[in-house]
């Protein structure tokens, strides 16, 4: 089966055909760096990291551009409230986002452009739109004329023209309330750049069109982002880019939200969980597992119980791979299972792909139980290959070299516990139940709970 991806614009799941043989070009809307990243922010980055890894598995040179919006109304407001320069506020939170992406195992983007570094390209795009009659200047502002593109506007989101609301303040120079801002006239105390229409700063929608085409060309393969960006952001990107004469994105992909109590996770609602806080309750690999296991188009309702279940489930995979290494020798990289590949080719169906991983873990544990070390190594190698696609290979450098004394202690504890569990397993196989019970009692007395599961023994640190 070939790779099929769901395209928001056509509302169909289409076979992926890149514009250039052997190359897959992806633009992902990155963060508006106004505050500390939360799990809702990073889900998009993780989902498109999995897409990139799967494209690479297919042999593509996957080129991913993920922008940084470092000039925006929200950034200016937050910086002013904190009494800090806007550029320092943006840079501080940009570093926080990049650290979060790195901690959770995202491959570095091919390029990480900042909006403030691409004003020249934005001015060029505005001029092209004005020349074609799709934009107009008014009092230092520049607007895109939706009516000039009425036969095409709304094709991404399905918005009807008579229902369009841009969410912008209706300025005196705007001809139509449906028009959206390309360039904002300078205001006292705000940063600005010179243009033929007066000094000012770019509108949000303009930034991404200019950066995407500058790095990937006038037409590229995939544009991605969160579901909340379909309108107005991506609708406006598509409209202004196509109106200027650019083919722009051939596939539009959108990941669903992370919610709490049924509401989208957002700073304005106050229902956020920052990455630094969540990483106090789960290791980075475990949080990544929690966020990439659901299908990217499915809403994820965040809960402590769900996170705890993900922690335990990922540790079963991790425990199996490490047990094979201790029992049967070094585990290399194998091949992904056909069922895993079929699931990933079906619009990145990660729930089904993860189910295949757990099936192989069960088969590998059964092989260990019957003393078939070769079969166990083969299963573990396949598990490593499949989890690597998801950025979750337990033996990868990313996770094996996780820094910090706590992580080193966790690994040391894990090795000691796994050795005792192996001794307990051997005692049970020899029907020496007294020794098996003694080993379990020692673990429990040390604050370690042991549960016998179909995937093998699972251990966790007991609360308190």
Q: Does domain 7-131+208-275 have CATH number 3.30.70.980?
A: no
Which residues sit in the known binding site for Zn(2+)? 29, 208, 233, 237
Instruction: Mark residue 463 as left, alpha or beta (left: phi above 0; alpha: psi -120 to 50; beta: remaining).
Output: beta
Give the model confidence (pLDDT) of 286-314 as tens digits: 999 999 999 999 999 999 999 999 999 99
The β-bridge relationship of strands 141-144 and 135-138 is antiparallel
- The residues spanned by each domain of the chain are 7-131+208-275, 308-401, 403-464
Give pLDDT, residue 420: 83
DSSP 172-240: TT-S-TT-EEEEEE--TTS--B--TT-SEEE-HHHHHHHHHHHHH-SEEEEEEEEGGGIIIIIHHHHHH
Give pLDDT, residue 324: 94
- Using an 8 Å Cβ cutoff, are 167 and 196 in contact? no
Q: Which residue in this structure is represented by tokens 């047990």?
A: 323
∠ CA 236-240-245, rounded to 5°: 145
Give pLDDT, residue 454: 55
How far, in Å, CA of 288 to CA of 285, rounded? 5
How far, in Å, CA of 42 to CA of 63, rounded? 19
Which residues sit in the known binding site? 29, 208, 233, 237, 267
Nearest one of 346, 285, 341 to 313, comparing CA atoms: 285
Give pLDDT, residue 446: 79
107 DSSP assignment:
P
Give pLDDT, residue 403: 36
The DSSP bridge partners found for residue 25 are 63
Give pLDDT, residue 404: 38
- Using an 8 Å Cβ cutoff, are 31 and 37 in contact? yes
Which residue ranges in the chain fall short of pLDDT 70? 265, 267-272, 401-412, 414, 451, 453-456, 458, 460-464
Give pLDDT, residue 418: 75
Which residues sit in the known binding site for ATP? 267
Give pLDDT, residue 406: 47
Across 46-113, the runs of DSSP E, i.e. the strands, are: 61-66
Give pLDDT, residue 224: 98
Architecture per CATH, domain 308-401, reads as Up-down Bundle (1.20)
Give pLDDT, residue 216: 98
Give pLDDT, residue 462: 54
Give pLDDT, residue 405: 37
């Amino acid at each position: 089966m070939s790779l099929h991806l769901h395209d928001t614009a056509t509302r169909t799941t289409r076979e992926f055909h890149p514009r250039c043989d052997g190359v897959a070009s992806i633009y992902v809307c990155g963060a508006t760096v106004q505050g500390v990243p939360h799990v809702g922010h990073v889900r998009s980055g993780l989902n498109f990291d999995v897409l990139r890894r799967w494209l690479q598995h297919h042999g593509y040179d996957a080129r991913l551009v993920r922008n940084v919006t470092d000039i925006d109304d929200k950034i200016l407001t937050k910086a002013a409230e904190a009494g800090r320069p806007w550029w320092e506020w943006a840079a501080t939170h940009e570093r926080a986002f990049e650290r979060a992406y790195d901690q959770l195992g995202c491959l570095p983007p091919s390029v990480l452009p900042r909006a403030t570094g691409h004003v020249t390209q934005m001015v060029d795009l505005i001029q092209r739109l004005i020349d074609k009659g799709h934009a107009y200047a008014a009092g230092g502002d520049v607007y895109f004329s939706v009516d000039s593109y009425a036969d095409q506007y709304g094709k991404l989101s399905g918005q009807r023209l008579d229902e369009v609301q841009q969410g912008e303040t209706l300025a005196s120079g705007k001809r139509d309330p449906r028009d959206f801002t390309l360039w904002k006239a300078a205001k006292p105390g705000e940063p600005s750049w010179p243009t033929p229409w007066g000094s000012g700063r770019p509108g949000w929608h303009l930034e991404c069109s200019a950066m995407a085409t500058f790095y990937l060309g006038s037409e590229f393969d995939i544009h991605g982002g969160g579901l909340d960006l379909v309108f107005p952001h991506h609708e406006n990107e598509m409209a202004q880019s196509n109106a200027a004469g650019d083919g722009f994105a051939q596939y539009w992909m959108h990941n669903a939200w992370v919610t709490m109590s049924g509401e989208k996770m957002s700073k304005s609602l106050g229902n956020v969980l920052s990455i630094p806080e969540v990483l106090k309750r789960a290791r980075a690999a475990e949080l990544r597992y929690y966020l990439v296991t659901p299908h990217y188009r499915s809403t994820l309702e965040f809960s402590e119980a769900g996170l705890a279940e993900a922690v335990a489930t990922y540790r079963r995979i991790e425990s199996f791979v490490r047990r094979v290494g201790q029992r049967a020798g070094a585990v290399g990289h194998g091949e992904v299972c056909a069922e895993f590949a079929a699931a990933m080719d079906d619009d990145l169906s990660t729930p089904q792909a993860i189910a295949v991983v757990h099936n192989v873990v069960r088969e590998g544990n059964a092989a260990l139980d019957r003393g078939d070390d070769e079969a166990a190594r083969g299963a573990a190698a396949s598990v490593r290959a499949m989890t690597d696609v998801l950025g979750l290979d337990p033996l990868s450098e990313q996770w094996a070299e996780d820094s910090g004394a706590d992580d080193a202690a966790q690994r040391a504890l894990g090795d000691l516990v796994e050795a005792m569990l192996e001794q307990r397993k051997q005692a049970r196989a020899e029907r020496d139940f007294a020794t098996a019970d003694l080993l379990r009692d020692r673990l429990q007395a040390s604050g370690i709970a042991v549960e016998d599961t179909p995937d093998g023994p699972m251990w966790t640190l007991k609360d308190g």
